[in-house]
Structure 1
């Protein structure tokens, strides 16, 4: 007779077996809450059975073979044990195995720290590369992470774009923070997917192991909370502290305070200059928002913008930034100083039908020549709705305004999309600029961006210039404009032109 082999609702195959070897039930059911190895043994545990007697096995796809029942079930058990512990895409340990191994190391006193790594803007990869291309990118990142984490340590894929590293061993003098920074560098790439070089950025949360920590699930939640903070603040790495457990309450309170700050006039604009890469003459300025908090002092945008961007506060905030920046440009213009001003437009703002009419109304009201404004958008903004974004940018450029893609190279913009966009400028993200002198890969990315820009007759801006050798090197390879602390920090409007 034959008997199907099932696990949960899936039929795995069908065994042809002698009648006296079949258990009481004609179906070898493997309950979801039963360990499969124990279930296999139980199915063969009746006294007097000839467990080594050969039987015919037929699989659903038509393949068949001869083996003993014990070998068949042992092979099935092994396959399911592996499937329950290994991520099928990257072949790294999965969440369940990471939890088990982490608890084992924790119980043995052999776990130094835990790193939770989440890829930034991974949804963009899905949108541009497609599901298969995004999976290829995840596989590349998983391989790089496994190679980088070092012997004795365990890299795992939790789900989606989330990874975990269990640090059991650290070289002398090495800290978890150092290890995390090195992991970020090693996975950055570029990784080649469908012939395209893709750079990867990530955020990391670290959970340290203290005496008395005995629950791996608690440590995993802590590392995940720290990773979310790193992603919000765009700091790369954050170490868990008890205060992170109340993050959500803090976020809601901060949004309420930000709304009040907008109404009370506590927001400020500072301006950071952009300079000609060769002559070092002032070319223009970028408007950057600051929050003069009554209790916490002057807050940089990394503290409050991520929360604002996840709520409708970003719309009111952008309205204020636009009005303030256009007014300041008009003040300079009326004083005989034509200073081009760059303004960042978030995706949520540009998605509104009123976005372009609002900007044009401000320009008319201030009687400002439109060519003195540059609107900066990110790759993420473009990908949100390429056709709508292109239509709106075309309307802005028709007035003489310029359009720039900010943080270029950190997202997943299709090269085929660039020629269709009404843009004037590519702004190389500072993560590439900061490492161009010690990383050939980052220098290559900068060279590639310049080549793309030249082919499309676009201006190239490099942000994050921190020293003179970097400034000189960027000028040598053909960057047009420079921006960074080495040249000038953001300043209030009364100080920026002096």
Structure 2
């Protein structure tokens, strides 16, 4: 639904014309204009240059008293000519034409081309082109060229009235502020433009895409390919815009959260609000795609209550740590575990981290929670050590925790308290934490590493970290995000990204961990590719500490 292309340059509306000799009889000029009723005037080549005489001036002159009538084209009256190059923007040409004296504003404009041609741009055509451009601009997002909020709202209302709307999809890019921080404003705009282009092609014909503002987009879904549902289309769109997109030489992957509202209510504003609410749920719980349900709106308002309950849960012993083993890729011997927090809620049961961690990370609760996770994980490592098991433990450190001056002293004090060797602890940081303050983060991590604590970058490849930062960081491991692992057999691009991460890690002397290993072919291929450690449901699910298998999970099928 793009409509006809509107002219952008003056030459697109200019009518090429052959200049007349100054000696051309006026009678011939009149005859020429009578023969071509669309000609806006004539161009006369005089000793002082090319002059433009409009049709209106020729007709008024020809209708005057015979004794006063000019005999040749050179004698025709004319205003001061406004001559502009053909590549002049329509807006600038209209501004110049309207800036002339009042009695000259209806006169056409002389157009000149670089190859020596001349033409005439009628004033009405110029004003119509400018008006059309402004009308299009009022309905179009200038950065991406997609329809804007006003246009898609009006179109959504029309499709609802016509019974031609299946669902509304609201898309929000994840961690886009990181892109601004790394790429700068210009680079982030370039990324949004690339995403807009990819998104516009993703839903297929009959469906309309718009940019609302910032990193928010909307899709009106009116047609579905055979076998597709709105949810599967949402996942398809997410995969199409994922990239990587090369911006300023950096390969940037894009993750998106999508909310879906079925078109079961006859008010486009309500459908848009529902889709936005579902998108916020998808973003908070990191589930990718969420469809709106009647109970979802009410759950959007329980965040403050949930934070209060989480504080109480911390103090009342309701938090639990589960541990997911990591295995050597070739031998499948267990090499360590990652500590993953759960909340044993008194009324809601065992809650996964996606339900409460996003809210905690937006408040100071995350600091108290991270203290508890570190203390509990190191205590468990001490228990295993006393039982004769050397089990390294990985703990995630959120950006807010690492930003504290007390972060390093607290971790070192806990190691001393539990009498756990520092090399049994790996702290995992996200790319976001690195970008918050690279120099400060590097200093904090260096202090930990100096004492023997290992450092890993978690979810590597999903954020916007510049590869130039990696050599400056004291990092032992890169963890490839599960989103790349689960698609490595279906997407050559994702397989290439994995190979690139392995090559980068090797060059910098780092180990590589692959998350999200869900089947044996994936595990075997990752081992062949050179991944050091594997983690995922195919090997072990997160379990309470007493259920952690302190023996290899399963034998390796031959890697060749």
Q: TM-score range by the shorter chain?
A: 0.7 to 0.9
Aligned to 1:294: 346
Q: Quote how far apart the aligned CAs of 1:67 are.
A: 4.2
Residue in 1 that maps onto 2:49: none
Residue by residue, what CA displacement relative to the aligned partner does 1:238-261 show, whole Å, maximum 9, x if unpaired?
001122222342111111111111
**C-alpha separation in 1, matches of 2:210 and 2:259:** 15
State how far apart, in whole Å, the 1-side matches of 2:340 and 2:124 are: 69
What residue in structure 2 maps to residue 15 of structure 1? 98
Indicate the residue corresponding to 1:470 in structure 2.
522
Q: Normalised by the size of structure 1, how large is the TM-score?
A: 0.88
CA distance in 1, matches of 2:189, 2:96: 29
2:494 is the counterpart of 1:411: no
Instruction: Tell me which residue corresponds to 1:184.
Output: 238
For the pair 1:124 / 2:185, whether they are aligned, the reply is no
Distance, in Å, in 2 between the alignment partners of 1:215 and 1:375 is 49
Other-structure match for 2:472: 420
**1:361 — aligned with what?**
413
Report SS of the residue matched to 1:457.
coil
Count the aligned residue pairs: 452
Q: Structure 2 CA distance, aligned partners of 1:262 and 1:255?
A: 11
The two structures, once aligned, show a CA RMSD in angstroms of 1.8
Instruction: Identify the range of structure 1 (227-236 vs 196-205) with the bigger mean alpha-carbon deviation.
Output: 196-205
Cα 1:74–1:464 change in 2 (3 A) is same
- Residue 396 of structure 1 aligns with which residue? 448
Post-superposition offset of 1:122: 1.0
2:74 — aligned with what? none
Secondary structure of the equivalent of 2:452? Answer: coil
Q: Distance in 2 between matches of 1:358 and 1:12?
A: 66
1:220 equivalent in alignment to 2:220? no
Cross-structure match for 1:72: 126
C-alpha separation in 2, matches of 1:151 and 1:360: 59
Deviations, residues 63-117 of structure 1 (Å, cap 9, x unaligned) = xx96444223212211111111111121111111111111111111111101111
| TM-score, structure 2 normalization | 0.78
Among 287, 291, 297, the alignment partner of 1:235 is 287
Task: Report the 3-state secondary structure (helix = DSSP H, G, I; strand = E; otherwise coil) of the residue aligned with 2:295.
Answer: helix
Secondary structure in 1 matching 2:98: strand
In the alignment, the residues of structure 1 paired with residue 102 and residue 138 of structure 2 have an alpha-carbon distance, to the nearest angstrom, of: 31
Q: Secondary structure at the match of 2:138?
A: helix
Aligned partner of 1:455 among 507, 523, 529: 507
Q: Which residue of 1 aligns with 2:156?
A: 102
Q: Which runs of 5+ in 2 are unaligned?
A: 1-78, 81-93, 112-118, 551-560
1:275 partnered with 2:327: yes
Larger Cα Rg: Structure 1 or Structure 2?
2
In the alignment, does 2:434 pair up with 1:385?
Answer: no
Residues 1:157 and 2:240 aligned together = no
What residue is the counterpart of 1:82 in the other structure? 136
Q: Deviation digits for residues 468-487 of structure 1, max 9, x if unmatched?
A: 00000000000000000110
Deviation at 1:493, TM superposition (A): 0.9
Q: Which runs of 5+ in 1 are unaligned?
A: 3-10, 23-50, 58-64
What is the alpha-carbon distance in structure 1 between the residues aligned to residue 385 and residue 376 of structure 2?
A: 14
User: Cα deviation per residue 1:327-366 (whole Å; 9 max; x = unaligned)?
Assistant: 1111111222111000000001111111111111111111
